[in-house]
Structure 1
Amino acid sequence: MDGCLSSQRPGCLGEAQHTPGGWLDADKKRPFQEDGPRGPPRDSPEREPSLQSLQTFVPTDYTSYTQENYLYAGKKIVIQESIESYGAMVWPGATALCQYLEEHTEELNLQNAKILEIGAGPGLVSIVASILGAQVTATDLPDVLGNLQHNLLKNTLKCAAHLPDVKALVWGEDLEKHFPKSTCYYDYVVASDVVYHHYFLDKLLTTMVYFSQPGTVLLWANKFRFSTDYEFLDKFKQVFDTTLLAECSESSCKIFKGILKWD
């Protein structure tokens, strides 16, 4: 969360902030190092991926790959990113949500909890949730699943009781076919920085509602950049009983808990 976190280095904490969720001291989440170049400004809308993309993501220039290093739950986590795809980068909401999960593991009862991540990207949140003991299904568009799978296996193979699963998920499409409610129940649905400048926000909300069964808790972390982000929040509050769990005013990053309203 740049503002609370260093604006140039995802996962870096700046000055400790006193917020409802609480943030750890600066040095506790500082990456070990960074390799390779950084891309254009992260709030730029120019590289938006297509929701209908069915191609495997392969960078056209392998110098675009970087490795970011994080420390959560006492484990060093190495994430392979590429600046060529939104879905292959770690965003501020992900580091915020990882920190929240780590600080509230017992309260959330993550041990053996079934978690679905929507828009897992390079997989940092799913990795941390797995290390903390959850049974995780990480989902994203088909074009970034190769990089997601790589990061999940690399970071959980020897340190997670439950290896995370990886599935393709196109928001709002064939949900019952690929995730039948009769067999797919999740204690938590988590999402970070899935709301930004794109045209699929209604499908995203439909997907969040679909996976929210009785007893399911939705945890959504997001950096608020545009007026459309707040418009989505208003719609979110119409269908979910919403609680603000944590926020950083400097970075405009917030974490919400949502419980689906039932008629």
Structure 2
Amino acid sequence: MFKITDIFSINYSESVSIDKDIDYIGAGLRLLTLEEANGPQFRNVRKETFQKRFESERIKLSNFDRWAKVLCRYFEQEQMDFTGKKVIELGAGTGLVGILAILLGGDVTLTDQPNVVIQLQYNVSKNIPEVGIKRAKVSALLWGKDHKQFPTDYDFIFGSDIIYRPSEFHSLITTLLYLSKQSTTIYFCSKMRKHMGVIDFYEKVLPTHFDSTIVHSVPEQEINLYKITRKEPVT
């Protein structure tokens, strides 16, 4: 059984070629053990390659994948085991949450926009051993457009920092309703940016079809982790 506490850090130094016309910054991801993270190879690569690449794009290293890490640590706290469970991650980005769910036994589909798929596939291949790769799938998913190409019976749905465009809220709700069943558990981790409509999403949009509870928070960073389920059907 894979233990989350075996993971110390994340190496974003490797990235695959991304179309220059696409506004997306590819980030290679590799989970590290404590021994690897303390080794000279990781320190040198992080300083000379990763830091240089992302500072040029004005991205703060400490912010990258912060929300995904909060969700992963919650898995650790709750000692979650996804063995035999059907899981989908929305807006997977580097794929940290989905990759961890695979390592914890889940049958996982990692999704994001089409221009992110190549990077996701690369990251999965770098982190999932051969014995687990058959439980991993990477697919493009545009909310509200091609969601019907996916199953409707996921046990878990994950999303970290995917709530920030009010114009996409309706499409996200439509997608969640399609992908979920009554027993599905959804975990969304978000920074509560009022100016991006995040608070309105959780307080006004989501409650039309879903119940939600804050199960973890990081007050100093204004991050909330929500556990979400479908409302009981009206009889």
Q: Structure 1 residues 105, 114: closer, same or farther in 2, change over 3 A?
A: farther
Residue pair 2:99, 2:128 contacting (<8 A) in 1 also: yes
Cα distance in structure 2, aligned partners of 1:94 and 1:147: 17
User: Which gives a bigger RCO, structure 1 or 2 (Cα 8 Å, sep 6+)?
Assistant: 1
Partner residue in 2 for 1:207? 175
User: What CA deviation, in whole Å up to 9, does each residue of 1:160-180 have, x standing for no partner?
Assistant: 37531011110011322x125
SS in 2 for 1:195: coil
TM-score when scaled to structure 2?
0.73
Cα distance in structure 2, aligned partners of 1:207 and 1:163: 22
Asked if 1:157 corresponds to 2:129, the answer is: yes
Cα distance in structure 2, aligned partners of 1:68 and 1:196: 23
Q: How far off is 1:34 after superposition?
A: 6.8
Cα distance in structure 2, aligned partners of 1:198 and 1:154: 34
Cα distance in structure 1, aligned partners of 2:227 and 2:85: 16
- Give the alignment of 1:49-64 within 5 angstroms: 57-59=18-20
Partner residue in 1 for 2:78? 104
Which is richer in helix?
Answer: 2
Residue pair 1:72, 1:128 contacting (<8 A) in 2 also: no
Asked if 1:174 corresponds to 2:152, the answer is: no
Q: Structure 1 residues 202, 166: closer, same or farther in 2, change over 3 A?
A: same
Partner residue in 2 for 1:53? none
Q: Structure 1 residues 244, 196: closer, same or farther in 2, change over 3 A?
A: same
SS in 1 for 2:142: coil
Partner residue in 1 for 2:46? none
SS in 2 for 1:200: helix
TM-score when scaled to structure 1?
0.66
User: What CA deviation, in whole Å up to 9, does each residue of 1:182-204 have, x standing for no partner?
Assistant: xxx21101111001246312211
Cα distance in structure 2, aligned partners of 1:218 and 1:128: 16
Q: How far off is 1:218 after superposition?
A: 0.7
Residue pair 1:133, 1:161 contacting (<8 A) in 2 also: no
SS in 1 for 2:221: coil
Cα distance in structure 1, aligned partners of 2:158 and 2:12: 27
Residue pair 2:109, 2:139 contacting (<8 A) in 1 also: yes
- The CA RMSD measured in Å over matched residues stands at 3.7
Aligned residues: 207
Asked if 1:236 corresponds to 2:214, the answer is: no
Partner residue in 2 for 1:17? none
- Give the alignment of 1:114-193 within 5 angstroms: 114-158=86-130, 160=132, 162-176=134-148, 178-181=149-152, 185-193=153-161
Asked if 1:195 corresponds to 2:175, the answer is: no
Q: How far off is 1:67 after superposition?
A: 5.0
Cα distance in structure 1, aligned partners of 2:26 and 2:179: 33
Gaps of 5+ in 1: 1-23, 37-55
- Give the alignment of 1:24-63 within 5 angstroms: 31=9, 57-59=18-20
